[in-house]
Amino acid sequence: MFKLTARIDIVHVPYRGAAPAVNDLLGQQVQMTFLDLPVLLPQVKAGALKPIAVGSAERSATAPDVPTTAEAGFADLRIENWYGMVAPKGTPKEIVAALHGLATKAMADPTVKEKLAAQGATLIGDEPEHFRQFIADETAKWAKVIKDAGVETAK
């Protein structure tokens, strides 16, 4: 998505996790990476890595001096990592509601909020229907990127 938006020639290097990518970045085997802020913050704070931009709509509270991709000149570039709770299709609505209630309660806990905020995470806690639509929108967005980039998918 960055390559297409910025119209630059870069090579995607696939990794089996963030740790090997960070190691190669620190060892200068690669020149840049997009990773979760919590993974990179320790190296940024140590001065080993220089943050260029965050892919979120707003600046991160844990890295307020780092501009967003929009502020860096790429208004249409939004790359945010997200995590969510899902259940198998057909899970009874009362179980989904109970799980949602427990997750919402946990995310409202000040200790949980503080711990995750310190790592650069932003808690949202949306309703199941909104989250379902968010997943559909993300799927469509990345399917378009895959198509536009000419990525060959496994058959």
Q: Which amino acid is at 55?
A: G
d(CA 91, CA 19): 35
Verify that 27 and 72 share a domain, yes or no.
Answer: yes
Q: Residues near 48 by Cβ (< 8 Å), separated by ≥ 6?
A: 26
**pTM over cut 0.75:** yes
Q: What is the pLDDT of residue 152?
A: 83
Are 107 and 139 members of one domain? yes
pLDDT of residue 121: 78
* 105 and 71 housed in the same domain: no
Where among 28, 61, 80 does a domain terminate? 80
Range of the domain at 72: 1-80
- With tokens 């790429």, the residue in question is 74
Type of residue numbered 138:
E
Distance CA 136, CA 125 (A): 17
Q: Rounded to whole angstroms, how far apart are CA atoms 153 and 21? A: 22
Quote the number of domains for the chain: 2
Q: Using the CB atoms, write b or e for 95-129: b if 16+ within 10 Å.
A: eeeeebeeeeeeeeeeeeeeeeeeebbeeeeeebe
Contacts of residue 67, Cβ cutoff 8 Å, sequence gap at least 6: 53, 54, 59
3-state secondary structure 31-68: CCCCCCHHHHHHHHHCCCCCCCCECCCCCECCECCCCE
Q: Do 90 and 121 fall within a single domain?
A: yes
Q: Give the pLDDT of residue 62.
A: 84
What CATH number does residue 58 fall under? 3.40.190.10
Q: Answer yes or no: do 71 and 93 share one domain.
A: no
My answer on whether 64 and 107 are in the same domain is no
My answer on whether 51 and 94 are in the same domain is no
68 and 90 in a single domain? The answer is: no
How does pLDDT run across 73-126, given as a tens digit for each residue?
999 899 988 889 999 999 999 999 999 999 999 999 999 988 888 877 778 878
Element (DSSP H or E) covering residue 135:
helix 128-149
Residues 73 and 98 in one domain: no
